[in-house]
Structure 1
Amino acid sequence: MLMSQIRNEDGSITVAVREEGEPARAVRGALSVYDLAREAANSGRTFADVVTTRGVAGVVDLQAAYAEGRFLPPITHPDPAHLHLTGTGLTHLGSAATRDAMHAAATADEAAMTDSMKMFRMGLEGGKPKPGETGVQPEWFYKGNGLQLASPGGDLISPAFAADGGEEPEIAGIYIIADNGQPFRLGLAVANEFSDHVTERINYLFLAHSKLRPASFGPEIRIGNAPQDIRGTSRILRNGAVLWEKPFLSGEANMSHSFANLEYHHFKYGLFRAPGDVHVHMFGTATLSFGDGVRTEAGDVFEMEAAGFGLPLRNRLVVGAEEVVSMGVL
């Protein structure tokens, strides 16, 4: 099942569901995906069961909604501060090659291993623990909250002080925290974990700064479990023509960590189990246009899609205006 949210002219939301290749239909009486997810998490029912119980109404034209700029992120929170954007890196087989090239040690000792490669090796050795065991924790980063979330079809705004604005095609887990504090995975979606790779390359300790950028995901959430082998395509369009295009792989068959291990090391913190909160947790990638020497420009359009995950995710790169930040003293 694929699920999305459409903004109506009166400000209300239409929740649309469909099976791959079939028309989308509106879920009866649904105010938002967030409300449906909370109902499922707090009732002990599956999300699909909640939708089936409500039933569906008329056909929703998703292509028209996309063209008209009416897609919302496929889940939002009434208070954007309670939607958390986070992620993990060095989680995919092959991800170390791009990162290691960015963070290569400036040393004559070619045998020296970078911290990135050490972290990757740790994941290979302990990222997929057996049931009942605790695996190695991954690299983890914070991107922001719902205020940093761009709608599918919307702009990804790179701040004026940024050195770069580059795409990262990823699969994200979408989570809701039940009233009793238990996390539930709603489903997964294609995500653009937009980052500043030039800043990150200066020194890996700048990773935290480079990740404080907008992100986008959707337009649709794949409800339920993920395939073991996820195959997609990431591309950049400039002036309507393809500037760069490359396949990307995800899913546990192509990863050094299991989803369960990444989820455990995120939700082990009580901070991330606050009732009612939403989490969009991006699982990493091994494919970057930056790694191929591409420098993005304002107006470029990022487009990424994966089989079984619905419509492609598109966002335009926009450079923000200069801001003067003045500090007051109380």
Structure 2
Amino acid sequence: MILRLLQHRGADGVRSVIAARGDAAHVVPGVESVRALAQRAIAAGQDLASAVAACGEGAAFDLAAERARLIAPIDHDDPAHLIMTGTGLTHLGSAEGRDKMHRDAAAATTQTDSMRMFLAGVEGGKPAAGAIGQQPEWFYKGDGTQLVGPGEALTMPGFAQDGGEEPELAGIYLIGADGRPHRLGFCLANEFSDHVTERWNYLWLAHSKLRQASLGPELIVGLTPDHVAGSSRILRDGEIVWEKPFLSGEANMSHSFANLEHHHFKYPLFRRPGDVHVHFFGTATLSFADGVTTQPGDVFEIEAAPFTLPLRNPLARDPAPADALATVGVL
């Protein structure tokens, strides 16, 4: 049965790690964070499931009753040491939505750069074991200050032109003392982006990705998903205004997880001991591609098996005026 790890903060502020299998859940004694549990596992040469078993079984935990107090399943005491990044055009069909945004910039008979990147991934994104495949599109999202927990608002900056959902899987990693990345597992994620900015010119992709992102409450341990099928929807005033199925997992991707991981962690600056990495693996499903314009107050809802809890985040806009955000003093 799949092991799921969650983090909980009680009304008294005390944190705990929760282990869940099926409908049963219990407190993991002696650890206050998934990161600390992972550090213990690395030091002992164990996998996470063995580390959980070695801690023993604490009190039973009611996930339904305490759902509002579940926080993001990974974090870092120093947010600067949690790095959020992602790769795009990684899913079969992912070029369609991107191409809709960019095709006006090129003649109808000319492939866009997005389509060329996608097709290169289809051809070389799943190399044989031990081989290095085609490198993907890559982007930086921010540090731990940009990580939003389940139920919290995803807030677009005052200067943003759009705030749109991206239902994805995110890989969670901890860099060991020897500089080796260790994958802790996968989370359901909303890789929140500004698609209007990106549509104007794909070279603004970097700007469009500098936004918050959210993780579902569960970290799936010991599983490399081959096929994940779920739904992404937007609710406005309690009514569904858009809904669409989405697919992820390697069977639905043009790149393997191993290839995407290689092309991220090949850079030494991403192998700094003690750092946490949250890496978003891309999607083929966007409400923006279907002409939807989101509004503050909308609620994004993403759900997919084998995750048992959905990820919900309301949309908000930062009220700070754009001209007050980047005032630079001169010394």
Same fold (TM over 0.5): yes
Distance in 2, Cα, partners of 1:298 & 1:196: 14
Deviation for aligned residue 1:9:
2.4
Distance in 2, Cα, partners of 1:52 & 1:34: 16
Count of aligned pairs: 326
SS in 1 for 2:105: coil
Deviation for aligned residue 1:63:
2.1
SS in 1 for 2:99: helix
Residue of structure 2 equivalent to 1:304: 302
Residue of structure 1 equivalent to 2:4: 2
Residue of structure 1 equivalent to 2:330: 329
Deviation for aligned residue 1:162:
0.3
Residue of structure 1 equivalent to 2:55: 54
Deviation for aligned residue 1:14:
1.4
Aligned AA (1:83): L
Deviation for aligned residue 1:41:
1.9
Question: Which of 292, 309, 323 is the aligned partner of 1:294?
Answer: 292
Deviation for aligned residue 1:10:
2.7
Deviation for aligned residue 1:70:
1.6
- Could you give the per-residue CA deviations for residues 68-99 of structure 1, whole angstroms, max 9, x where no partner exists? x3221101101011001110000000000110
Aligned AA (1:320): D
Deviation for aligned residue 1:4:
0.5
Give the 5 Å matches for 1:32-43.
32-43=33-44
- Could you give the per-residue CA deviations for residues 214-238 of structure 1, whole angstroms, max 9, x where no partner exists? 0001210101122211111111111
Residue of structure 1 equivalent to 2:87: 88
Distance in 1, Cα, partners of 2:147 & 2:61: 24
Deviation for aligned residue 1:65:
2.3
Contact 1:41 1:176 in 2 (8 A): no
Contact 1:2 1:310 in 2 (8 A): no
Distance in 2, Cα, partners of 1:271 & 1:203: 29
Distance in 2, Cα, partners of 1:14 & 1:164: 36
Distance in 2, Cα, partners of 1:272 & 1:47: 22
Distance in 2, Cα, partners of 1:254 & 1:126: 15
When normalised by structure 2's length, the TM-score is 0.96
Greater CA drift, 35-44 or 282-291: 35-44
Give the 5 Å matches for 1:275-286.
275-286=273-284
When normalised by structure 1's length, the TM-score is 0.97
1:97 matched to 2:96: yes
Deviation for aligned residue 1:284:
0.1
Aligned AA (2:284): A
Aligned AA (2:281): F
- Could you give the per-residue CA deviations for residues 6-41 of structure 1, whole angstroms, max 9, x where no partner exists? 112232211111113x12210011121110011112
The CA RMSD over aligned residues, in Å, is: 1.0
SS in 2 for 1:49: helix
Distance in 1, Cα, partners of 2:138 & 2:251: 21
Deviation for aligned residue 1:105:
4.0
Contact 1:219 1:310 in 2 (8 A): no
Greater CA drift, 10-19 or 72-81: 10-19
- Could you give the per-residue CA deviations for residues 301-322 of structure 1, whole angstroms, max 9, x where no partner exists? 1010111122001101011112
SS in 2 for 1:63: coil
Give the 5 Å matches for 1:96-245.
96-107=95-106, 109-245=107-243
User: Residue 241 and residue 182 in structure 1: after superposition, are their counterparts in 2 closer, same or farther (change >3 A)?
Assistant: same
Segments of 5+ residues of structure 2 without an aligned counterpart are none
1:246 matched to 2:250: no
Aligned AA (1:27): V
Aligned AA (2:219): I
Contact 1:41 1:177 in 2 (8 A): no
Which contiguous aligned blocks of 4+ residues in structure 1 show a shift greater than 6 angstroms? none
Greater CA drift, 307-316 or 196-205: 307-316
Residue of structure 2 equivalent to 1:17: 19
Distance in 2, Cα, partners of 1:318 & 1:105: 30
SS in 2 for 1:29: coil
Contact 1:105 1:114 in 2 (8 A): no
Aligned AA (1:233): S
Greater CA drift, 24-33 or 203-212: 24-33
Contact 1:197 1:290 in 2 (8 A): yes
SS in 1 for 2:58: strand
